[in-house]
A and B are shown apart, each in its own frame.
Chain A
Amino acid sequence: MAYLTDRKRAIGRGSAKSGTEHFWAMKKSSFALLLLVPLFVFTFGPALGGTYEEILAYYSRPFPAIVMGLTLVVGFKHFNDGAQVAIEDYVHGLAQKVLLMSVMCLSYGAMAVGLFAIARIAL
């Protein structure tokens, strides 16, 4: 290690060069959620508290089901990308890698479970 030059030590420690793509992905999902969040709040809100039959009937209708499906997909993608930045800020090394992969599994796992459930209710 003592023979490494300063330049050699510096190479590879700079920008990952994927920041712009990440920023743009966040901006796209943010904009989508700006439309979806009000739709979600005022479809899910009134439904919560209904009986089993009411919920099945409500989420068999196209509009509430589609809003729920889209919110699950975009919301969990947005959570995954946002939590990634937070983790990269505060956690480093092996713990960072483990946490990033755990958050990814949780985000896409929850998204898939939610989509399966809404498809089963709606179809």
Chain B
Amino acid sequence: MADVNRGNRPLSPHLQVYRPQLTSVTSILTRVTGNALLVAALLIVWWLLSAATSETYFATANAVLTSWFGDLVFLLSCWALWYHTLAGVRHMIWDNALMLEIDKAETLGWLVVIGSVLLTVFTVVVV
């Protein structure tokens, strides 16, 4: 109600007043990884377009994707992808009103963190 004077009252406390907890940090990371994956996704689309265009264009895009910078982006994206995937599984469990107790939610949080690292190591070894 923009035209009503509601007084200059303080807003309710937000993130900065709370101690970081496993549940909040893993939740924030889900959103961060999801959005960050756009970088790798756009690189892959560019790489595909270059392969569909010409050999010289492919050489340019492929050089970027296989450079140390590309390796770094894909290593981080690999972890982000597994993390976001496992976090999604966690949400599917929560959607059924299961494992919502704090201790169980924290267990799931650790499973997501540890599982994403293990899957990343596995992917690097296999691929």
Contact = CB atoms under 8 A, between A and B. Distances in A.
Contacts of A106: 38
Interface of A is mostly: helix
B55 A68 contact: no
A42 B34 contact: no
Contacts, number: 86
B127 A79 contact: no
B52 A83 contact: no
B127 A114 contact: no
Contacts of A118: 48, 52
Interface of B is mostly: helix
B3 A117 contact: no
A116 interface: yes
B17 interface: no
Contacts of A59: 48, 51
A76 B40 CA distance: 12
Contact of A56 (B45, B51, B92): B51
Contacts of B81: 37, 41
Contact of A31 (B34, B44, B92, B127): B92
A76 B41 contact: yes
A41 B123 contact: yes
A72 B45 contact: yes
Interface residues of B, number: 34
B95 A27 contact: yes
How large, as a class, is the contact surface on chain A? 35 or more
Given A9-B1, A49-B66, A52-B62, 6 more contacts: A31-B92, A83-B34, A86-B31, A86-B35, A116-B49, A117-B51
Interface of B: 1, 3-4, 31, 34-35, 37-38, 41-42, 44-45, 48-49, 51-52, 55, 58-59, 62, 65-66, 74, 78, 81, 85, 88-89, 91-92, 95, 123, 126-127
Interface of A: 1-2, 4, 6, 9, 27, 30-31, 33-34, 37, 41-42, 44-46, 48-49, 52, 55-56, 59, 68, 72, 75-76, 79, 82-83, 86, 106, 110, 113-114, 116-118, 120-121
